[in-house]
Amino acid sequence: MTAKSDVRRYPGFGLFSILFFVYLYLPISVVVFYSFNANRIVSNWGGFSLHWYTAALSNAALVNAVKTSLFVATIATVVSTIVALMAALVLVRGKQVRYRRVSETVVNLPLLLPEIVVAVAVLILFSELGISNGLLKLTIAHTTFCIPFAFLPIRARLQGMDSDLEDAARDLYASSWTAFRRVTFPLILPGVFSGAMLAFVISMDDFITSNLLNSGGATTLPVYIFSLIKQGVSPQLNAISTLIMIASVVLATAAFLVQRKK
């Protein structure tokens, strides 16, 4: 390193950062480590075993919770991504949009409120309307709070895209729809993809809303995990957690690689 860049370095920051990354990953690693523990008592090491993974995979309640979560997350992701895309197109590309700032605030409203308040709002709404179907309640609530997470990456991508390309398509007599389908959409696809991915993960991970709405026989994965945590630490819980972490890392890496490919 040259002396020039040296003055910017601070002694100790490197060591501090390394310790920080250890801190960030140690708790997760502990869970993974203990998931291979043959002993029923988590903190006593009883040799290596995959027993808890086979037990987890044959756990019917867990499989049902995963199914519920996947169902809710898939519908919430599709709906929220489509409506967020429509809103983003208007808010970034539309001309003479009235109350643009207010509209953006409305779209991002779930981010401005503490999630427990959002959860209480939908709970009261469903009780007033008399909706008791658990899956329906979850899907509506998840769609609502997924919208801003789908919206923000799409908007960022649209803002970064040159509108001259669309104008060029229009100059070549493409209709609005053709210009969107052949020019705009392919260009913002990575943004749409990361928005959908983010919405999916947020929905899969949601605990606060799902727990408050938990009735009508629809238990999502995080709510099921919480019920296991209440029963106490167990190696099977660690195995389930590890499986979830593997799935999250795969999704995060995919999203990361798509975003880097510009």
Partner 1 sequence: MTPRHETSGWKNPGWNVWGLLPTHLIMLCTLIIPIGIIILVSFSTRGPYGGFDYVFTTAPYKQILFNEGWSGELEFNPQYLIVVGRTLVLATVTTLICLLLSFPVAYFISLQKASLKVVLIYLVTLPFWVSMIVRVYSWIIILGNDGVIEKTLRFLGVIDDMDSLLHGDFAMLVGLVYSYIPLMILPIFASIEKLDGALVEASHDLYGSRWTTLRRVIVPLSQPGMLAGSILVFVPCLGAVLEPMILGGGKTMMMGNLIQLQFGPARNWPLGAAISIVLMASVLIFLLWRGLRAVRKESRELAA
H/E run at residue 237: helix 235-260
Structure tokens at 45: 């090491």
Residue 197 · residue 255 · CB < 8 Å: yes
Which residue lies nearer to partner 1 by CB, 57 or 86? Answer: 86
Strand partners of residue 37: 48
SS3 163: coil
Which residue lies nearer to partner 1 by CB, 57 or 249? Answer: 249
Q: Identify the residue among 22, 30, 50, 61 touching partner 1 (CB under 8 A).
A: 30
Q: How far apart are CA 153 and CA 258, in angstroms?
A: 12
Structure tokens at 185: 């959409």
Interacting positions 9-28 with partner 1 (CB under 8 A)? 9-10, 12-14, 16-17, 20-21, 23-28
- Nearest approach in angstroms of CB 122 to partner 1 is 6
Phi and psi at 37, nearest 5°, equal -80, 125
From residue 127, alpha-carbon distances to 143, 166, 203 in Å are 18, 47, 22
Binding mask 37-66 for partner 1 (x = CB under 8 A): -----xx-----------------------
Interacting positions 121-180 with partner 1 (CB under 8 A)? 121-125, 127-128, 140-141, 143-144, 147, 151, 163, 166-167, 170-171, 176
Interacting positions 66-125 with partner 1 (CB under 8 A)? 82-84, 86-87, 89-91, 93-98, 103, 106-107, 109-110, 112-118, 120-125
Q: Identify the residue among 74, 131, 207, 216 touching partner 1 (CB under 8 A).
A: 207
Q: What is the DSSP letter of 48?
A: B
Interacting positions 236-255 with partner 1 (CB under 8 A)? 237-238, 241, 244-245, 248-249, 251-252, 255
